[in-house]
Structure 1
Amino acid sequence: MFLLKLITRNALRHKLRTMLTVLGLTIAVLAYGLLHTVVDAWYAGAAAASNARLVTRNAISLVFPLPLSYENRIRGVDGVTLVARSNWFGGVYREPRNFFAQFAVSDNYLDLYPEFVVPAQQRSDYLRDRKGCLVGRQLADQYGFKVGDVIPIKGTIYPGTWEFVVRGILDGRDETTITRQLVFHWEYLNETVRKTSPRQADQVGVYVLGVANPDDAAEIARNVDSVFRNSLAETLTETEQAFQLGFVAMSNQIIAAIRVVSYVVIVIIMAVMANAMAMSARERTVEYATLRALGFGPPFLALLVFGESILICAIGGGLGILATPPVASLFRQATGGVFPVFKVSGETMVLQAACALVVGLAAAVMPALQAARVRIAEGLRAIG
């Protein structure tokens, strides 16, 4: 109890210095948490991907489509229970900055995605309306879309202005489900393309496959690809997670830079904290010598320094951790929903606490050694 009281008084002796150090630690831990959450958000789509779904695309590149005739042949592969079509539409809502994912999908597409919840009546209305579409809840909240609205989308891959009628809202099964997309009928897209550009008709961007046993996914993928080996359009079949990670891999350098910056922030605040503790240790040389003269050993003096450093870091780190969720929520709103899932994970908070602890320990090493090595005669001579 005496030791804790002494540590607290030492920490509060220079209130302004302590407050500024705590503020710096709070900002550093907060920044680390936000940067780590950005990385988590980047991988959110891949993390939520199912291992019970496979994606078949053109082996050369995703840019090149596959023939519609492949669907029946894929369906005939052992272990495949369902085959759905999906085309990336790539349109723009009103102006280029209003970008979100749009997919032309077959009517059985949602059967493969139980994480998307649509009321039965809304799904029925969607299936009956050729120009109908389903809008994700996150997208609907961002733009204010509601059932019955007409959404004009300016096509980039498929020229012209396309109008879709909102027939339903896609809700997520839980908060980790990304619902920032619009889906509409693949048949409507194909019929329109057949009239304007017949050569581009009957083409599928990717096939999404449901499998009977997720443990057989790798074997089923090989079997699907073997069916189209040496054909004009060879295929590459992979798990949905691997497919999603392929997109993330395109941004690996950005993600690596974010990770580096997050740790640089911690290193910088560690240097600031070490400097503050070193200043405190130099100012208390006489006090340390006096304590030595009274019979307190080097371990006690070192414990004083470590205790003060850890206490300051615990306060700054705790404030930073507490501030991270609300600041992350504000950040998500300010960025206009760029990250559909932007939630501070428990792992991030644990890492924040670990960083604060490491800073507290590392910053106190040299000052603690300095305090423990104080000689009584030299320390007392430092008066004045």
Structure 2
Amino acid sequence: MTLGALIVRNLRRHPLRVVLTALGIATVILAFNLIVTTVRAWYAGVEASVPNRLITRHAASLSIHLPLAYRDRIAALDGVTGVTYANWFGGVYRDAKGFFPQFAVEPASFLDLHTELSVPADERQAFLSDRRGCLIGRRLAALYGWKVGDVIALKGTLYPGDWEFVVRGIYRGADAATDETWMLLRWDYMNERRQQIDPDRAGTVGWYVVRIADPSLAGRVSRSVDAEFSNSTSETRTETEQAFQAGFVAMSGAIISALKLLAIILNGVTLLVLANTLVMAVRERTKELAVLRTLGFRPSHLAGLVTGEALLIAGIGSALGIAITIPASHFYGVLVAAKLGNFFQHLTLYPSTLLLSASITLCIAVCAAVFPILALMRDKIAEDLHNAG
């Protein structure tokens, strides 16, 4: 009988125990995959960042605006190939729950710099021609059932009053990482109204998006931009788009750390469950293993036997967990989209996540096998035969 056949036969002695252990591992695999998927969704904006784009904002706070006059001075700097600007609008649709990202932008330059936003030519032209027009993402349109030509009524929070915008186009992302929940409205229309309700902030922008000729110039261009406005009343802070996005993620650092800690705890649970199963299995077969040793089986053979059982159980649990995760992640994504769709628009289960969970589980299986193997190596053959009766 081969070692593999012996491993399978040993596991068939207590099928209920093996099934329960595999189910426990599968449950941990499911939870781990959903946690990792959630964490990756949190970092989706960082991963989707374009390397040749910089963000210039006020050095003190993002809530403090910058003069519109900075645009031409930034555009004149060496290494800069394009500049656009945007403002956070902050309106709500129907009630406070109707929140989604809204940006007031200079339409032509913003779309020119954000090539990952795909808009049909006719819809793009309609947006450029209508001061009250707006572009919305495909997911946002699907969430509220909006289509081209619909009027979206928002209640302003930063800029009080009732605002109406006409949907002139629906953009699609170039890939799954592109955020499709934005609403883009025109900065000139917002600024016109702002002159009446908030004249102190008229003619200012929230931040600039700077396109550079080569990503390797990011550090030099960032320093040049900030040096251009040093010692002014509105000093700037320029960083890569990736660093800018990472700053927002860092604000939720406690939540992300808690999720990562939970993932570690789940792996610890897998180790304990699997180690306990193996210790019980070895203890029940003390006499048999002692007999095998008297027949000439080396310690490496017995170690391979125990490790093989651990890997087989972990493999069954991993396969079952992955099989459950695939449909479960779909329902999880639907649930999250319904409740938090404007925060987690990229809740996607990646194959690399499944591979990671399976790899960690198999590594844990090897670690779990160490405990019974060490106990087995310490035992003496004569004592095992005597104690087994």
**Structure 2 length as normaliser, TM-score?**
0.94
Asked whether the 8 Å contact 1:281–1:370 carries over to 2, the reply is no
Contact 1:303 1:368 in 2 (8 A): no
Name the residue aligned to 1:122.
Answer: 123
- What is the CA-CA distance between 1:383 and the residue it aligns to? 4.2
Residue 76 of structure 1 and its aligned partner are, at CA, apart by 1.8
**2:310 maps to amino acid:** S
Q: Cα distance, 1:214 vs. partner?
A: 2.5
Distance in structure 1 (CA, Å) of the matches to 2:359 and 2:322: 11
Segment drifting more, 87-96 vs 285-294:
285-294
CA distance in 1, matches of 2:209, 2:264: 39
CA contact (8 A) 1:54 1:211 kept: yes
Is 1:37 aligned with 2:42?
no
Q: Secondary structure at the match of 1:146?
A: coil
Q: SS at 2:17's partner residue?
A: helix
Instruction: Provide the residue aligned with 1:301 in structure 2.
Output: 302
1:97 positional shift = 2.1
Contact 1:39 1:255 in 2 (8 A): yes
- On the 8 A contact 2:91/2:102 being kept in 1, the answer is yes
Segment of structure 1 superposing worse, 362-371 or 96-105: 362-371
| Deviation of the 1:374 alpha carbon | 4.2
Which residue of structure 2 aligns with residue 94 of structure 1?
Answer: 94
Residues 161-203 of structure 1 show CA distances to partners (whole Å, capped at 9, x for unaligned) of 2111111111011222121111010011000111222222111
2:92 is equivalent to residue 85 of structure 1: no
Give the drift of 1:373. 4.3
AA aligned opposite 2:325: T
Any idea what the Cα deviations from partners look like across 1:329-377, whole Å, max 9, x if unmatched? 2212101223111222343233212211122111111212333444343
For each residue in 1:262-293, what CA deviation from the matched residue of structure 2 results, as whole angstroms up to 9, or x when unmatched? Answer: 01110012111111111111111121122223
**Could you tell me which residue of structure 2 aligns to residue 345 of structure 1?**
350
Amino acid aligned to 1:357: L
Residue 50 of structure 1 aligns to a residue whose secondary structure is: coil
Determine the C-alpha separation between the residues in 2 that align with 1:347 and 1:138: 25
Higher mean alpha-carbon deviation, 212-221 vs 47-56, is at 212-221
CA distance in 2, matches of 1:223, 1:298: 67
Counterpart in 2 of 1:208? 209
When the two chains are superposed, the root-mean-square deviation of aligned CA atoms in Å is 1.6
Alpha-carbon offset, residue 381 of structure 1: 2.9
Structure-2 change in CA distance of 1:297 and 1:214 (3 Å): closer
| Deviations, residues 68-115 of structure 1 (Å, cap 9, x unaligned) | 122222222222222212001122121222321100000221100111
Residue of structure 2 equivalent to 1:334: 335
Tell me which residue corresponds to 2:74.
74
Q: Are the equivalent residues in 1 in contact too, given 2:119–2:170 (CA < 8 A)?
A: yes
Q: Give the whole-Å Cα distance in 2 for the aligned partners of 1:23 and 1:95.
A: 44
Equivalent-residue separation in structure 1 for 2:22 and 2:99 (angstroms): 40
**Matches for 1:257-272 after TM superposition, within 5 Å:** 257-272=258-273
Residues 129-278 of structure 1: matches in 2 within 5 Å? 129-278=130-279
Partners of 2:22 and 2:384 lie apart in 1 by 29
Q: Which residue of 1 aligns with 2:47?
A: 47
Partner-residue secondary structure (3-state), 1:55: strand
User: Any unmatched runs of 5+ in structure 1?
Assistant: none
Q: Under a length normalisation based on structure 1, what TM-score does the superposition of the two structures give?
A: 0.95
Q: Which amino acid aligns with 2:357?
A: Q
The 2-side partners of 1:286 and 1:93 are apart by 72
Three-state SS of the structure 2 residue aligned to 1:381 is helix
Moved more, 365-374 or 144-153: 365-374
Percent identity for Structure 1 against Structure 2: 48
**Residue 298 of structure 1: how far off its partner (Å):** 2.4
Q: Distance in 2 between matches of 1:128 and 1:255?
A: 43
1:377 aligns with 2:382: yes
